Amino acid sequence: MTFDFERFGTVAGGVLRRNVRRLDRALASGMRPPPRMRVSEWAAEYRHFPDDAPIPGKWRHDTAPELVEIMDALSPHDPCAEVVVIKCAQSGGSASAENWLGFISDLAPGPVLFVQATAKAATQWAAEKFWPMVEASPRLNPDRGGTIRAQGLANGDGSTSEKVLFSRAGSGSYILLAGANSAANLRQRTVRYAVEDDLDQFPNDLDGQGSPEGMVDERLKVWRSRGLSKRCKISTPTIKGSSKIGHAYRGSDRRRFYLKCPECGSRFVPDWEDIRWPEGHHEEAFLTPPCCGVERIEHWQKGSMKLADGWLSDQINGEAMPRVLDEDVFQALRARMPQSIKRGFHLPGEISPFQSWAEMAVGFRDAQGDIAKLKTWTNLKRGIEFELKGDTPDYEALSALREQHWGRGQMPVGPVVVVLGADVQGDGIYCEIVGVAERAETWQLDARFIPGHTDVPGAGAWADLDAYTKRGVTFPGGREVPIDQECIDAGYHTEAAQAYCAKRPRRTPIFGRAGWSRPPIGRGEAIAYDKQGRRVGEKSKKVEDKAFLVGIDGLKLTWYGFLRASLKAAAEAVESGMDAVVPVGRVHLGRDTPPDWAEQGTAETIVVKMINGFPDRRWTPMPGRQNHYLDCRIYAMAAMAKLMLDTLSEVDWAKLRAERYAPTNPDQGDLLANGLTQPAPSKAEPPRSTAQTDTYLDSRDDYL
C-alpha cells in the first residue's frame, strides 16, 4: 500500500513526503556498511603529511612499498589478529600504525589502547606525530568535519591530552594513551584494538602485577573472544634473548622482505655481508647481490628493487626458505604461504628508504672497538638483536697491563685530557683519576679510597676530596691544568654531592641508571632520594634533586670490551717482541695500581633472571667482590662522554696536545674550555714514548 500524503493537504502532505525521504536516506545511510577498504588503500587516499614534514603531501606507497602488506594485515576483513614489526630506527613502521589509527576512526570505530614506554612518551607521540597527521589530513581534521574530535572544546566533550575521541561514533570509541609504567592506565578499559609502540622499553614487571604485555592482553580478551580484536607490536630490538619484540617476532610467521635484483630479476633477502666499500672509503658503500654476481648496485637503485609483494615467511610448512629465489619460485611460495593470525615483519636497515648503505657502513666503522656503540648500531641501524658475547675479563690477567716505568704521582707521556670518577659510600669516597687520549686510550693516573663521613656537605671525606682534586695535574713541560671533568656519584648522599659539585666548575653530580638503551650520560633529570629514616640515600617520591643520568649498562659493556682488547694487544706485543697496533680503548695501568683495583674493576657479570617467564639480563656483582673501582671507572667514562671527546678531530687532539705539553706559558688559554678551532703547528706534538714521566700530583699519601 502507498501512503496517502494528499489527505493531509498539499502543504502538509508535501512536508511529510520530504521528511519521509530524508528519514529514509538517513536510515539507509546508518545501515549501510562502511566501504570495504584496506588500511593501505585508506592511507593512499586520505593520509597527508604537513607542509613542514620531510616528505610533505599525500601518503605515497612508492616511498616504502614494504609497508603495504603490514598495513593490510591490520584491515578488519583480514583474519590476522596480531602484527609484530621488528625494525631499524626511522623505517616507517610507526607511521603504518598511525595510518591504522586514522582508518579505525573513520571506518572501524572502537576503543583503542595506545601504549608507549611511559605516559609522557605517549603524550609526546600524540603531540609530535598524531595531531600533526590529524591537522594535515582533511578526512581526520575536526575543523573540516573529520573523524577526530578537537581538543579543548568549551562543552568539555572534546579530546584531551590523554584521550582522543572519534566524532563519528558513540562514547565507546576513542584512543586511550597510556604508559607501560602505569598499571592503573593498563587496567582501566576493555578495548578492541591495541598498539604497543617501542615495546623493548617496556618493563618486565609492573608494580609486582606482571608484565605490561600481559595486562594489554587482558584488556583485549572480550573482543578477542569474538574474533574482532587486533593488536600491533612495534619496536627496535635490544639484547638477543631479552628483546621483547624479538621474542614476539620469533612467535610469529617471521616474514622477511625480498628485493628484486635489477640485473637478473631474482628475489633475495639483503644482508650486511652484501654491503661492500672500497678500502677505507665507507662513505662509498654499495650492495653486491647474492644472486647473479653483479658487482655493484647503488643506493639510488634501492627504491626500484622493492615491490609491495616482497614478503615471504622464513619457513613454509616446516621448510626453510632460501635467501635467493627465482621469481617464479618466489611467487609460487607466496601463494602457498598460510594467512596466519600472527604475522611478523622484519624491517632491517638494508631495505630502509630513509638510510643509505653508506650511512650504515660509516656507522659500522665508527662503532669499531666500542661494544656499546656496536650494540647501538646493530639495534638502530640494522634493526636486529645484539648478541652478547664474551665473559668477564680475568682480573688476575690484568697485571699484564701494568707498566713499571711510571706510578702514582707521575704523568706519563700520552694523556691529553684528565677526568675523575668518584663512588660515594657511607664511610668514604672511592675515586680514580684517568688520563685520556685519542681513540679512548686511557692511563690510570691514581686510584684511592678517601676515608671519612659523607653525609655532611663540605665536611669529612668531601673536604679531603676537594683538597685532593683542586690541585689539578701537571703535564710534562710543567703546565698545570685543573681536572677537566669530575663525575660524582649523587645516588647516596645527594645534597652533599651537589654541594661538592657546586663548589667548583667542571664537577657534575651523576646517578647511575640501568637500561641497555640509555646513553652514557643524559641531561639532568629530577631524581628523588630519602634523606632520613631506614631508606636514607635511597630513591624517594617526595624529594626532587637534580642529577645527570648515566647509562651504566652500556658503559660496562664498553669497559669490558676495552679490557679484553687491551689484554689481547699486550699478549700480541709479548709474543711478537714489539708494540702491537693500539686498539680503541687501550688501557694502561701504572706500577702503583691498588692491589684490589683489578678485582673490583671486573667485579660484575651479566646474569640472566627470569621475570614473569621472560629472560632479563642484568649486571650483578659476583659473590664476595666489591665493585667500587668499577663504578669509579664507569663514572670517569661518563665524564669523557660529557666532554664529548669522541667528537674531537685529529686536528683538535693535536692542538690540545701541543698546548698541554708545551713549556709553561701563562698567557696561553685552556683549549678544552674555550673551544678547539685552530689547527696545530706541525712540529708541536711531542714523541709518544711512555718512558718519559712528570710529577703531576703530590706523590705522598699523607697529604690529608
CATH number, domain with residue 444: 3.30.420.240
With 0-12 / 13-18 / 19 or more C-beta atoms within 10 angstroms meaning exposed / middle / buried, residue 264 is middle
Give the model's confidence band at 228: pLDDT under 50 very low, under 70 low, under 90 confident, else very high: very high
Same domain, 420 and 338: no
CB atoms within 10 A of CB 544: 11
* 385 part of a folded domain: no
Mean pLDDT along residues 137-149: 94
Same domain, 577 and 652: yes
- Specify whether 316 is located in the same domain as 446: no
Pick the more confident residue, 168 or 246: 246
d(CA 536, CA 679): 51
d(CA 514, CA 201): 12
Bridge partners (DSSP) listed for residue 587 = 442
Residue 134 belongs to a domain: yes
Clarify whether residues 352 and 417 are in a common domain. Answer: no
The DSSP element (H or E) to which 502 belongs, if any, is helix 494-503
pLDDT at 686 over 90: no
pLDDT digits (tens, 9 = 90+) for 645-678: 999 999 999 999 999 998 875 555 554 543 333 3
Nearest-CA neighbor of 110 among 40, 43, 189?
189
Is residue 580 a contact partner of residue 545, using CB atoms and an 8 Å limit? no
Residue 612 near residue 217 (C-beta atoms within 8 A): no
pLDDT score at 687: 38
Domain boundary among 357, 376, 405: 357
Q: Are 237 and 201 in contact (CB under 8 A)?
A: no
Residue 92 sits in a domain of what CATH number?
3.40.50.300
Whether 464 and 333 map to the same domain: the answer is: no
**Whole-angstrom distance, CA of residue 586 vs CA of residue 295:** 37
What phi and psi values does residue 345 have, to the nearest 5 degrees? -125, 130
Distance separating alpha carbons of residues 694 and 554, to the nearest angstrom:
34
Does residue 494 sit within a domain? yes
How many other CB atoms are found less than 10 A from the CB of residue 299?
16
Lowest pLDDT segment from 95-109, 217-231, 380-394: 380-394
Q: How far from 156 is each of 105, 160, 176, 187, 582, CA to CA, in Å?
A: 20, 9, 17, 24, 66
Q: With 80 as the cut, is the pLDDT of residue 100 above it?
A: yes
Does 230 score more than 70 pLDDT?
yes
- Residue 56 identity: P
Q: How high is the mean pLDDT of the chain?
A: 87
Candidate from 51-60, 304-313, 543-552 with smallest mean pLDDT: 543-552
Percent residues over pLDDT 90 in the chain = 67
Give me the percent of the chain exceeding a pLDDT of 70: 88
Per residue in 58-93, pLDDT tens? Answer: 999 999 999 999 999 999 999 999 999 999 998 999
559 and 658 both lie in a single domain: yes
Q: What is the pLDDT of residue 177?
A: 94
Cell of 185: 592506565
Q: Which domain holds residue 580?
A: 395-695
DSSP structural state of residue 64? -
How many other β-carbons are positioned within 10 Å of the β-carbon of residue 563?
Answer: 23
Helices 93-107 and 39-46 meet at what angle, rounded to 10?
90
26, pLDDT greater than 90:
no
331 and 423 in a single domain? The answer is no
User: Distance (Å, rounded) from C-alpha 488 to C-alpha 631?
Assistant: 10
- Tell whether the model's pLDDT for residue 182 goes beyond 60: yes
- DSSP sequence for 448-460: EEEES--SSTTST
- Mapping DSSP onto H, E and C, the string for 185-242 reads HHHCCCCCEEEEECHHHCCCCCCCCCCHHHHHHHHCHHHHHCCCCEEEEEECCCECCC
First to last CA, the chain: 110
The backbone torsions φ and ψ at residue 347, rounded to the nearest 5 degrees and listed phi first, read -110, 85
Rounded distance between C-alpha atoms, residue 476 and residue 410, angstroms = 9
**What is the edge-to-edge ordering of all strands in the sheet holding 82-87?**
163-165, 174-179, 111-116, 193-197, 230-235, 82-87, 342-347, 255-257, 311-313
Q: Position 514: which residue type?
A: A
User: 408 and 336, same structural domain?
Assistant: no
Find how far residue 53's CA is from the centre of its chain: 23
- Going by the DSSP 8-state scheme, the letter that residue 159 receives in this structure is B
Given pLDDT bands bounded at 50, 70 and 90, which one contains residue 274?
Answer: very high
**426/279 same-domain check:** no
Residue 228 C-alpha from the chain's centroid: 33
Q: Is residue 113 part of a domain?
A: yes
545 pLDDT higher than 60: no
- Residue 610 has a pLDDT of 76
The whole-angstrom separation of Cα 618 and Cα 601 is: 17
Please give the Cα distance from 704 to 700 (Å, whole number). Answer: 10
Beta bridge partners of 694: 411
- Total structural domains within the chain: 2
Q: How far apart are CA 229 and CA 223, in angstroms?
A: 5
* pLDDT in the model for residue 186: 85
Of 337, 357, 377, the position where a domain reaches its end is 357
Average pLDDT estimate for 326-333: 96
Residue 366 in domain: no
pLDDT score of 181: 87
Q: How far apart (Å, rounded) are the C-alpha atoms in residues 680 and 658? A: 7
> Does a structural domain hold residue 578?
yes
Domain endpoint, select from 329, 357, 385:
357
- At 86, which amino acid appears? I
Residues 6+ apart with CB under 8 A from 164: 126, 130, 148, 149, 174, 175, 177
pLDDT band, residue 31 (cuts 50/70/90):
low
Half-sphere exposure of 69 (CA within 13 A, CB side): 21
For residue 628 the three cell numbers come to: 667500587
Residue 327 has pLDDT above 90, yes or no: yes
Q: Is residue 8 situated within a structural domain? A: no
CA quadruple 81, 383, 521, 593: dihedral, nearest 10:
130
Which amino acid would we find at residue 106?
D
- Round to whole Å and give the CA distance between 8 and 25: 23
User: For residues 295 and 46, which has the higher predicted lDDT (pLDDT)?
Assistant: 46
Does this model's pTM top 0.95? My answer is no
Q: Among positive and negative, which fits the CA dihedral 650, 655, 659, 663? A: positive
Burial of 214 (0-12, 13-18, 19+ CB in 10 A): middle
Looking at the structure, tell me whether residues 459 and 568 fall in a common domain: yes
Q: 449 burial class (0-12, 13-18, 19+ CB within 10 angstroms)?
A: middle
Q: Residue 692 pLDDT > 50, yes or no?
A: no
Q: Which amino acid is at 335?
A: A
- 101 part of a folded domain: yes
Residues 345, 401 within the same domain: no
What the block records as the C-alpha cell of 140 is: 581526520
Digit-coded pLDDT (tens) for 428-485: 999 999 999 999 999 999 999 999 999 999 999 999 999 999 989 999 888 999 999 9
Other beta carbons within 10 angstroms of residue 153's beta carbon come to 13
Does the CA dihedral 402-405-410-414 come out positive or negative?
negative
Rounded CA gap, 109 and 126, in Å?
Answer: 18
pLDDT at 375 over 90: yes
pLDDT of residue 542: 38
323 shares its domain with 408: no
